């Protein structure tokens, strides 16, 4: 009985690194809370994201990059930080609204 | 009528009459106003998450006395939550649902036992345990499931009139279910707090 309870609790508390907000795989916007970057070399397997003006509009762990009018992408320091997304690597991109360069996980 | 027959009738009738007018000398072990059957309705809130439905909870109860302190508590309940989508495919293409505390809809039938502890006047605390069969639906994600949750909780019954009582209770709901859309076996974990009224039958 105790085993079942603990297993249930553990399973109930599992979480994913990605979400419908940012990071989930997608084919259309309906797969995401807001926007789907459809599968391409830039966004392998598709990438759910949110529109943004500054980093403050993005969930924790993501930054606002200057693409498609400003979208949130996972921040990184090196390529291994992006492996949880699959075929993604750490690339330097323009920050949207900040005027600086930021590192974000991306395909090509 | 003979004098002997009259005496016999008096001897038989006197103890029965005395029982009718003399209050019981022992303290009751369950609410004295609760008969062997009762019905009740409760309203409250249930917390959900992932593939556990949460939101407004409406319950109907049927109570049937099993022993001095125990009543069978058959319950049918509905849970009405929001219907915003909460499922997605993670990077390994696994379908995951991460609904909030008040999302989804559910209908459940529960067979439980309510055990009363010795109360104080109008107030009668109890514990309740049982098992349910639950149908869960998250409409915006086209996800449905059937679950078997255990219910463990307790509350208090407050007698208002000889035929009416108020109940307040909370319970933990823990179980497992089988869900559509490649989800398969998923846990059910939630808390429900309800309050309502009971009528003796």
pLDDT in tens, B40-74: 999 999 999 999 999 999 999 999 999 999 999 99
**In angstroms, rounded to a whole number, what is the distance separating the alpha carbons of residues A56 and A52?**
8
Contacts of A16 in chain B (CB under 8 A): 90, 96, 98
In whole angstroms, what is the distance from residue A56 CA to residue B171 CA? 39
ipTM of the complex: 0.80
Question: Which of A17, A25, A84 has the CB atom closest to B93's CB atom?
Answer: A25
Give B29's pLDDT tier (boundaries 50, 70, 90). Answer: confident
Band of residue B118 on the pLDDT scale cut at 50, 70, 90: confident
Q: A93 in a domain, yes or no? A: yes
Q: Are A107 and A44 in contact (CB under 8 A)?
A: yes
**If you write DSSP's letter for every residue of chain A in order, what string do you get?**
-HHHHHHHHHHHT---S-BTTTB-B-SSGGGSSSEEE-SSSSSTT-EEE-B-SSGGGSPTTEEEESSTTSEEEEB-SSGGGGGGGSS-EEEEEEBTTT-SEEEEEE--
Token representation of residue B70: 């125990």
C-alpha–C-alpha distance, residues A71 and A80, integer Å: 22
Q: How many domains does chain A have?
A: 1
- Give the global pTM: 0.78
| Length of chain B, in residues | 201
What's the pLDDT band for B4 if we cut at 50, 70, 90?
Answer: low
Q: Where are the domains of chain B?
A: 28-200
pLDDT digits (tens, 9 = 90+) for B165-196: 999 999 999 999 999 988 999 999 999 999 99
Write the DSSP string, B111-179. Answer: EEEEEEPP-BTTEEEEEEEEEEEEEEEEGGGTEEEEEEEEEEEEEEEEEEETTEEEEEEEEEEEEEEEE
Structural domain B28-200, CATH architecture: Beta Barrel (2.40)
Separation of alpha carbons B42 and B59, rounded Å: 5
B-chain residues within 8 Å CB-CB of A84? 91
What tens digit of pLDDT does each residue of A8-35 get? 444 444 557 899 999 999 999 999 999 9
Contact B77, B58 (CB under 8 A): yes
DSSP assignment, residue B49?
B
Closest residue in chain B to residue A28, using alpha carbons only: B88
Q: Is residue A2 a part of any domain in this protein?
A: no
CB–CB of A20/B85 below 8 Å? yes
Q: b or e along B111-149 (b: 16 or more beta carbons within 10 Å of the residue's beta carbon)?
A: ebbbbbeebeeeebebebebebebebbbeebebbbebeb
Q: What is the mean pLDDT of residues B83-109?
A: 93
Angstrom distance (rounded) from CA B87 to CA A34 = 13
| pLDDT at residue B26, as a whole number | 66
pLDDT per residue as tens digits for the range A32-89:
999 999 999 999 999 999 999 999 999 999 999 999 999 999 999 999 999 999 999 9
Residue A53 domain-assigned (yes or no): yes
CA of A21 vs chain B CAs: smallest distance (Å): 10
pLDDT bin (cut points 50, 70, 90) of residue A2 is low
Residue A78: give the domain boundaries.
19-106
B129 and chain A in contact, CB less than 8 A: no
Residues 6+ apart with CB under 8 A from B39: B60, B61, B62, B63, B198, B199, B201
Which residues 9-28 in chain A show a CB within 8 A of chain B? 9, 11-12, 15-20, 23-26
């Amino acid at each position: 009985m105790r085993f079942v309870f603990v297993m249930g609790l553990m399973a109930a508390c599992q979480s994913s690194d990605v979400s419908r907000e940012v990071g989930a795989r997608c084919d259309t916007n309906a797969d995401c809370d807001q926007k789907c970057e459809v599968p391409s070399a830039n966004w392998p397997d598709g990438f759910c994201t949110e529109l943004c003006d500054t980093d403050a509009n993005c969930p924790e762990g993501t930054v606002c990059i200057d693409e498609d009018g400003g979208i949130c992408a996972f921040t990184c320091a090196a390529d291994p930080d992006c492996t949880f997304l699959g075929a993604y690597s750490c690339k330097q991109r323009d920050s949207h609204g900040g005027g600086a360069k930021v590192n974000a996980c991306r395909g090509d | 009528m003979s004098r002997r027959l009259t005496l016999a009738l008096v001897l038989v009738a006197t103890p029965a009459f005395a029982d009718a007018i003399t209050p019981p000398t022992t303290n009751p072990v369950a609410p004295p106003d609760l008969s062997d059957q009762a019905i009740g309705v409760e309203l409250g809130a249930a917390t959900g998450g992932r593939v556990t439905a949460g939101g407004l909870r409406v319950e109907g109860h049927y109570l049937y006395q099993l022993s001095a302190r125990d009543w069978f508590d058959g319950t049918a309940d509905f849970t009405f939550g929001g219907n915003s989508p909460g499922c997605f495919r993670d990077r390994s293409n696994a379908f995951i649902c991460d609904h909030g505390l008040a999302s989804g809809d559910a209908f459940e039938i529960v067979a439980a036992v309510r055990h009363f502890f010795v109360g104080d006047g109008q107030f009668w605390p109890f514990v309740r345990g049982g098992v349910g069969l639950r149908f869960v639906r998250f409409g915006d994600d086209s996800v449905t499931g059937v679950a078997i949750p255990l219910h463990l909780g307790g509350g208090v019954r407050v007698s208002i009139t000889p035929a009416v009582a108020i109940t307040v209770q909370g319970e933990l709901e823990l179980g497992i279910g089988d869900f559509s859309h490649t989800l398969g076996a998923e846990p059910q974990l939630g808390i429900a707090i309800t309050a309502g009224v009971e009528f003796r039958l």
